[in-house]
Amino acid sequence: MDGIELRRPTETDIPALYRVSMQGYGADDTDEVIAHARRLNELGRTIGAWADGTWVGCGSALSFDMTLPGGATLPTSGVTMVGVAATHRRRGILTAMLDWLHADAVHRGESLAALTASEASIYRRFGYGITTQTCSLHLPADAVDFDPPVPRTGSFRFLDPHDDIAPLAALYDRARRDRPGWVSRNAAFWESVRLDPPHERDGHTPLHAVVHTDDDGDPDGYATWRIGASTVSRVADNTVHVEELVGLTPDIECALWRFCAEIDLATSVTWQAPDADPLLRWRLVEPRKLRIDAPSDLVWTRLLDVAGVLSARTYPMAATLTIAVHDRRIPAAAGTFLLRVGVPGAAGACERISAVPDADADLVGDVADVSSLVLGAVPATRLAAARRLGGSTETLALADALFASSPPPSCPIEF
């Protein structure tokens, strides 16, 4: 990186530094947008690249916990705001910034790094594998009818999210603790929801919210949405754009869908779902009326502490496996690891038995693919068919069962 220096920015550097990232995404870089991003991001976890008297690269990380299969949570580095100026591409800046962010995460004791990628072709070479997927749902309001029927129990109450966000935060925190791939949210995140800046609305109304309570008065779900209003020949044709829908049980999730579909003048409901195989698809009387568009990757994760992650999640069966992990960027994450699971439903015990990946290990793969495997995102046999993972037919079948996650990993937000 001739003539390029990595620097820790000061507070006064932030507007110029963030503009590098925002311009790379084609996003607005107004003062309001930058102020919103600054509220969410951590100055102490931000790095910039400096050249020719200006900022030419930006990278940052968020501090949160991610839930693993079985309910354990691990500290995770949420890589975000990554961008390189078009004038300084192909000079190693992205690599240098990610290496810095990963080293900083390891120093902080974080076991995982995670991100939502702007381009799917970028991050595999840095050790990231697909962990969760998403899709866009569109359903006519009159098609929200369930089989088996969803009972109309409990009650709903409107909440002004611009005034009181605490009930939503409390419900989300309950829900995310048994959903692999979900991440914790800090006060800054919820404050950004409360402020609801206009540039986040996509031309729709300000945010609305409703909370569902059970028959005992205990909150068990919520939905937030915006209205896209339209009128054709004096007939309202409004779309309810769901921002988030969280139910502590499948029936509550369906009840929240029904509530959104029954909003006055609504003719359709849309949602960017946190997984690519939504529950709704399997509960509708007429599932063909549910349009599922643009299935795509969402969260990518990277193992920073292989043994730590493998020891933290739970497994549905007893087994012993050796796993060889190749890692070109973080030597401490490479090697051969021995995983022992003694009791079905319990956490494993994993240790690094060699710094060298053993070609004769039960499973052999790049850290990107092992990262997808251990979070339960994709079966070992599928990775092997894609020539991403090595192992015998018997071992791959065993790994399919061992690393399966129920529910599969998902995530309701981009970051």
Both tokens assigned to 30 = 């107004």
Q: How far apart are CA 224 and CA 196, in angstroms?
A: 12
Q: Are 46 and 9 in contact (CB under 8 A)?
A: yes
**DSSP-assigned letter for residue 314:** B
Alpha helices in 200-337 (DSSP H): 250-261, 280-283, 306-312
403 belongs to the catalytic site: no
112-116 β-sheet, strand order: 5-7, 47-51, 54-67, 73-84, 112-116, 299-303, 129-130
Using the 8-state DSSP alphabet, how is residue 313 labeled? S
25: annotated active-site residue: no
The CA distance from 54 to 2, in Å, is: 15
Are the CB atoms for 137 and 290 separated by under 8 Å?
yes
How many other C-beta atoms are found inside a 10 Å radius of the C-beta of residue 87?
A: 10
DSSP single-letter state for residue 347: B
Which is the catalytic residue, given 123, 128, 172, 222?
123
Compute the half-sphere exposure of residue 195: CA atoms within 13 Å on the CB side of its CA.
16
Report which of 19, 187, 1, 182 is spatially closest to residue 90, judged by C-alpha positions. 1
Task: Name the β-bridge partners of 48.
Answer: 7, 58
Contact call for residues 253 and 260 (beta carbons, < 8 A): no
What gap in Å lies between CA 256 and CA 247, rounded to an integer? 8
Contact 111, 305 (CB under 8 A): yes
CA separation (Å) from 353 to 319, 327, 334, 361? Answer: 17, 16, 11, 11
Catalytic residues: 123, 415
